[in-house]
Structure 1
Amino acid sequence: MTAAPTRQVQEAALAWVVAQRGRFALGDDALAPDGRVNSTWKPLGELAQVCATLVRHTSHADPLHAHVRELLDFAWRETGEGELLLRLQRAEPFATYPLEVYAAFASAGLRHPGYEEAAARVARTRGWRLTEQDPTRSLGVLLAERTSGLRPHADPDRVLARTWLGGLPEPWTFERPSGYAVTHVVFHLTEWGRGGPGVPPALADYLTDWLPAWLETCLEAHMWDLACELLATAVLLPAPPDTETLAGAWSRIADAQQASGALPEEGGLEALPDGPGFAYSYHSTLMAAFAAGLTAGRTSRPDSGARLAPGGQGVPG
């Protein structure tokens, strides 16, 4: 596989994110009781999550490193360097999303002792341990607890066994919701390419067998967002990914990318409109940059094995 399509996609995607940086900023409703989390904290948290990984997987000499570092610092400033997360945690003590957002920053060394102290106090309660969530989300919370220095509230292996992927289901039952569950289980197990225990052998073998077919299905359906998540997942598995499969997939992603660098979540190749276009392209564009960065690092070190992703063997940030 040539590096050109992957690099092209990553450069264009990050250029779009930089140009749209202000759209990731928190608004006045970020702390409002009826605030829309999916349009405030979610985009900012996902920006931080992706940049916390890419800053490790780009060389200091690479111009992309400076862009990623600037975006990560911007996101941290938007939280008041953690102070807004502390206020949010006090307002919604049993909501898990503040901890999940905070953990992305903590993985990059950006920490707020006051927030961690408050979160640790709540995490010791029965109410926190008994918060009802789907297993994939619970696995993410356990990752956030570990990254933030908190004691995990449950056994990760037991939670993993209850996920769609953990049950090794019939591969033909794969659909959009299970696809996102699969990718996020792998992201949680590998700490988004920064660490973690890694993917257990039985699950890795299952994904090695079936992920290429699922990826092809998503590409044929123009489901670009999920396709990028599957490309990232392929790179995070212990065995080196199939470079021929990756090359073809990246060429199709590059063709779907807009001239601006934006990648629509799904659909045809028509230009995205201004305004509403951000909501329907920011996540897929972030995932394109994320998957491309991981792919470039893995394919340049094909023999690095399982620990490339779980061990965070990208260039230190």
Structure 2
Amino acid sequence: MTAGSAGRARELARTALAWVDAHRDRFALDDDALAVDGQVNRSWKPLGELAQVCATVTARTAPPDPLHLRAADLLDHAWRQTGEGELFRRMQTLEPFATYPLEVYAAFASAGYRHPGYERAAAVVARTRGWRLTEQYPTRRLGVLNAERRSGIRPHERTPRALDRTWLGGLPEPWTFERASGYALTHVVFHLTDWGRTPDGVPARLADYLRHWLPPWLDTYLDARMWDLGCELLAVAASLPRPPAPHLLADAWERLAAARRPSGALPEEGGPDGAWPGATGEEFADCYHSTLMALFAAVLTLARPVHDGAPHHAAPSLTAVPGGYGGQGALG
């Protein structure tokens, strides 16, 4: 990235993490977390996303960095919410074939937080036919395979086989890209790269395809003021073995910074004070995921060289039609 973009990304990372830290209590688990009819998307999902993003921040920043120190403290806070892993063991008893506890646990495991008792119990279930035959979207299956690896469990399927069944794995016509496929695509890359840590995990044919088409897709969705998906696409760009030319992405950081609310939160869609059809009117619910994704994308981008060395060429022209529904699994 360019030096100017690096400064803007650093500022966005700082304000996003400060907002998340100020709202750390909103990520706390309550009694609903173990309820039979509990709302997973309101309990485990936010906590898992907090853990995953903070795990990446600590992995991609140096210990003296204030971003690293604050993210590490938030990771400790999130781990305590799980009873230092004990709640995962209890969830294993209540819902042995649910995959979301393992997906959330894997985010902690990637940062060194482990609960041997839970891992032993999860490994037993993962050896069953019932676990292997659970019907899932292909992108979710990739996430489960990555969660198994992170948790010390032998993956129940080969990654290339699962990848071939995803939208991205088929290298579809670029004009068919829309919101639902966009969220699926970003999570395929996150799972292949262990959430931005191993760019070489993206096969060359997919990396070339993404490097060519990410810039126009990103422009389209930022024009539509879909900041959440825009952040995820920027995170994908920073996760590729060879990111797109820096000048093709530079304007995106300016647009994201301008979309922030005075509090530092980034709304999922619309303007800083605007609403959209899915808005609740409550800042945490409307902004926590997109603010985490802004932090995620910024830190991954800052971890790459300031000048990538990629040849500068014009981005291809493409008109994409926003639409569909986003969200992928426990850490979507």
TM-score > 0.5 by shorter chain: yes
1:249 aligns with 2:252: yes
Aligned to 2:85: 82
Cα distance between partner residues in 2 of 1:167 and 1:243: 27
1:144 aligns with 2:144: no
Provide structure 2 residue ranges, at least 5 long, that are not aligned to the other structure.
311-332
One-letter code of the match for 2:60?
Answer: H
Matched, 1:269 2:272: yes
For residue 190 of structure 1, what is the aligned residue in structure 2? Answer: 193
How does 1:18-29 map onto structure 2 within 5 Å?
A: 18-29=21-32
Aligned to 1:35, the other structure's residue is in SS state coil
Q: Does 1:302 align with 2:308?
A: yes
- Once structures 1 and 2 are overlaid, which stretch shifts more, 257-266 or 192-201? 192-201
User: Counterpart of 2:33?
Assistant: 30
Question: What letter is aligned with 2:89?
Answer: L
CA distance in structure 1 between the aligned counterparts of 2:193 and 2:171, rounded to whole angstroms: 18
CA spacing shift, 1:142–1:196, aligned 2, 3 Å: farther
1:6 Cα deviation (Å)? Answer: 0.5
One of 158, 164, 168 as aligned partner of 1:165: 168
1:110 aligns to what SS in structure 2? coil
Question: Aligned partners of 1:185 and 1:146: how far apart in 2?
Answer: 15
Structure 1 CA distance, aligned partners of 2:60 and 2:93? 34
2:228 aligned partner, one-letter code: D
The correspondence for 2:221, drawn from 215, 218, 222, is 218
1:217–1:275 CA distance, 2 compared to 1 (3 A):
closer
The residue aligned with 2:325 is: none
Structure 1 Cα separation of the partners of residues 75 and 263 of structure 2: 21
Q: Please state whether the residue corresponding to 2:242 is helix, strand or coil.
A: coil
Question: Separation in 1 of the partners of 2:305 and 2:285?
Answer: 31
Take 1:266 and 1:25, find their aligned partners in 2: how far apart are those partners?
A: 25
The answer for the alignment partner of 1:114 in structure 2 is 117
Tell me, yes or no, if structure 1 residue 291 matches structure 2 residue 314. Answer: no
Q: Which residue of 2 aligns with 1:39?
A: 42
Letter in 1 for 2:21: V
Answer yes or no: is 1:128 the counterpart of 2:131.
yes
Q: 1:120 to 1:196 in 2, by over 3 A?
A: farther
Query: Cα distance 1:202–1:156, how it changes in 2: closer, same or farther (>3 A)?
Result: same
Correspondence 1:228-247 to 2 at 5 A: 228-247=231-250
**Distance in 1, Cα, partners of 2:97 & 2:214:** 35
> What residue identity is the alignment partner of 2:95?
E
Identify the match of residue 282 of structure 1 among 288, 300, 313: 288
Note the alpha carbon deviations across 1:20-48, whole angstroms, 9 max, x for none.
00000001110000000000000000000
The 1:35–1:253 alpha-carbon spacing in structure 2 relative to 1, beyond 3 Å, is same
Query: What is the alpha-carbon distance in structure 2 between the residues aligned to residue 64 and residue 193 of structure 1?
Result: 17
Aligned residues: 304
2:261 alignment partner AA: Q
TM-score scaled by structure 1? 0.93
CA RMSD in angstroms, aligned pairs only: 1.7
Deviation at 1:271, TM superposition (A): 6.6
Contact 1:240 1:303 in 2 (8 A): no
Q: CA shift at 1:152, angstroms?
A: 0.7
**Unmatched 5+ stretches in structure 1:** 305-317
Over residues 246-303 of structure 1, what are the superposed CA-to-partner deviations in whole Å (9 max), with x where a residue is unaligned?
2100000000011211000001221789972211110000000000001111134736
Q: Check conservation: 2:168, 2:185, Cα contact below 8 A.
A: yes
TM-score between the two structures when normalised by the length of structure 2: 0.89
